[in-house]
Amino acid sequence: MARVPPHALHPRPNGARALACAASVLAAFAAGLVFLVYGAADGLSWIDAVRAGLISLSTWWLAWGAATALLGLTAHLPAPPTNTNPIRGTTVIIVPVYNEDPRDTFARIAAMDASLHACGPQFTIDFAVLSDTRDDAIAADERQWFAHLTAQQAGAGRMFYRRRTDNTGRKAGNIEDFITTSGAAWDYAVILDADSLMEGATVLEMIRRMEGDPSLGLLQTLPKTVGAQTLFGRAMQFSAVFHSPAFARGVAAMQGRSGPFWGHNAIVRMRAWAESCGLPVLSGPPPFGGHILSHDSVEAALLARAGWTVRLDDDLQGSYEGGPENIIDHAKRDRRWCQGNLQHTKVIRAPGLLAWNRFSLFQGIFAYAAPLIWLAFIAASIAAIPLADELNYFPQANWPFPVFPNDQTSKAIGLALGVFGLLVMPKLLVALDAIRTGRARGFGGAGKTLRAVLAELALTSLIAPILLAFQSRSVIQVLLGRDGGWPTNNRGDGGLSAQTAWVAGRWIMLWGAGGIAVTQTLAPVLTLWLMPVALPMILAPLLIWWTARPAAATRFSVPQDSTPPPILARHAAILAAWTTPIAKAKRA
């Protein structure tokens, strides 16, 4: 099929990009300027300039997120091209697994296969389970459940299972091995995670959009988080389902042909991937060297460099994934992402990358620098008190009259409110938009939606210092040369014992108590201001344990609770059937 120039099918995003960049830079400049004016009230010092720079960087990051959400609420994107004729290409659904629960994984495949069959007999789509499991007992279970799957779904000849003896390159290497050895048998590949679920109709629509746009190399969906049971999990699920569409549409408005890839719940053109996405092994040892952990952003950049379009279609429904159920599991996953994103310092200068891809890689790096910038700002603010000189009422030589500092309290309060507003304003605007458009009805109506948004804001504000501590430790570990590896995902019920929470959070408690002690000694006037950060840290073990407790289905409810999507109902039914002694006997 002939390649079509990407600009012929996709609008240029320069206006959206310029608007977001201008808004975030102006907000950062204004915050830094206001802080300098405030600091100059008693004489400007070098530490005031440092703090102004730190607050500017932090404000830029917050303002960029706010600008993205505002674009998402106001952008009107054209309908993507699609193929209205019968599907011609062949497709394989790739499911990489790594020490997962085989019964749950293969039940998901069975549910997706049944959903595809329900769309009509004219579609034949294959499945490939690519195992990197290191545990031999789990691997033996995988083979048994795969045999059960193929028997139940009549999957012989279109369902494949392969376990690598060497998991070089982790997930990216697993997929690369498969595409190198077997990819020529298919035109397209849908890449999933072990906890992914997709409606058959969604998969078919993705294929049609690939065939409707010959320049399209990768199409990313916006997966909705499902299945959360704990307080932490349900709050994160609500945030993802309720707020993420606006942010995703903002990203889509700015992407052009340089869109994101999140590593799963996406479809790729096999030829484009095979030609473009061979990943290098970075020079030096881990954590900065070796195989790339955050491979998805790099693969998206390589596709765009080769002239292929990478696109996020936020309008596609029927795409789902699981999520961490507690703070510890979230922190473990985030530790891998931290190391992978910081590896991009070696990738960002690669020749031929598009400017927007370089900027996206920079954003991924900056996301993990941001917590250290906030900590540096707090430390500099504490240090500024004992470093401050005595007030000089005669700062100008040969001027006989004293100069008294102006009261700049209003500017300090205004700056604090502005930073806080950048944090909460996007979510409140998303809530108001949901009420205006009627989307809030799926979340229980206007009143319940507003209460859920406020409760989610309160909870995330409470645990934010704990997540900041985990992220800061991750960055420090990487900078000190510690390799975090690729830990196994915990997809269980998410509950934690008090002992586990204590072990995981006691160091954060000590950090919080130490911060209060240092502040009280050096800058007691700031102790009260530091309490919103330090107190949750002191309570970290308790908060980690409490947020991992089961939560009622009415807490942070989402539309999938009241009206389960068909694919979720299929998966639940299959999983229940495969749990019975009869199913176990058949498997044996």
Distance CA 19, CA 247 (A): 15
Residue with tokens 């999140």: 262
Paired tokens of 40: 């100059």
Of the candidates 41, 70, 48, 141, the one whose C-alpha atom is nearest the C-alpha of residue 430 is: 70
What CA–CA distances, in Å, run from 77 to 16, 260, 266, 465, 545?
11, 17, 20, 37, 43
Do 560 and 567 form a contact (C-beta atoms < 8 A)?
no
55 neighbors 411 (Cβ within 8 angstroms): no
Nearby residues of 21 by Cβ (< 8 Å), 6 or more positions away = none
Cβ–Cβ < 8 Å for 127, 109:
yes
| Per-residue pLDDT at 78 | 87
Q: How far apart are CA 353 and CA 304, in angstroms?
A: 8
Helix (H) or strand (E) holding 54: helix 46-74
pLDDT computed for residue 13 by the predictor: 86
Residues in a beta bridge with 191: 94, 266
β-strand partners of 190? 93, 267
In terms of C-beta density within 10 A (0-12 exposed, 13-18 middle, 19 or more buried), how is residue 497 classed? exposed
Cα–Cα distance, 464 to 414 (Å, whole number): 22
Q: Which two tokens stand for residue 279?
A: 């990943």
Hey, what are 242's tokens?
């309720």
Res 279: pLDDT: 94
Beta carbons within 8 Å of 577's beta carbon, 6+ residues apart: 583
In the numeric block, which tokens belong to residue 53? 């720079």
List C-alpha distances in Å: 338 to 61, 259, 473. Answer: 17, 21, 10
Cβ-proximal residues to 199 (8 Å cutoff; 6+ apart), any chain: 115, 317, 318, 319, 565, 566, 567
- The span from the CA of 487 to the CA of 329, in Å, is 10
- Residue 341: what pLDDT? 97
Q: What is the pLDDT of residue 386?
A: 81
CA torsion sign for 177, 182, 187, 192 is negative
Q: Tell me what pLDDT residue 44 has.
A: 73
Structure tokens, 393: 């009422």
* CA distance linking residue 350 with residue 471, whole number of Å: 27
Tokens of 268: 């790729």
Residue 529: predicted pLDDT: 86
Domains of the chain with bracketed CATH: 91-326 (3.90.550.10)
User: What is the spatial distance between Cα 93 and Cα 116, in angstroms, rounded to a whole number?
Assistant: 11
Q: What is the DSSP letter of 481?
A: T
3-state secondary structure of 53: helix
Answer whether 100's CB lies under 8 Å from 275's CB.
no
Residue 258 per-residue DSSP state: B
pLDDT (tens digit per residue) in 189-233: 999 999 999 999 999 999 999 999 999 999 999 999 999 999 999
Helix/strand/coil for 550: strand
Q: Which two tokens stand for residue 344?
A: 């991009």
| Per-residue model confidence (pLDDT) at position 2 | 47
Q: Quick one: CA dihedral 325, 330, 331, 336, positive or negative?
A: positive
| Ranges of residues in the chain whose predicted pLDDT is under 70 | 1-11, 39-43, 388-415, 491-492, 581-588
CB 59 within 8 A of CB 27: yes
**Given the DSSP bridges, would you call strands 126-131 and 91-97 parallel, antiparallel or unpaired?**
parallel
What would the pLDDT profile of 515-554 be if each residue is shown by its tens digit?
999 999 998 888 988 999 999 999 999 999 999 999 998 8
d(C-alpha 400, C-alpha 339), whole Å: 59
Give the contacts of 268 (CB within 8 A, at least 6 positions apart).
188, 189, 191, 217, 218, 219
Amino acid at 216: L
Write out the two tokens for 526.
């700031």
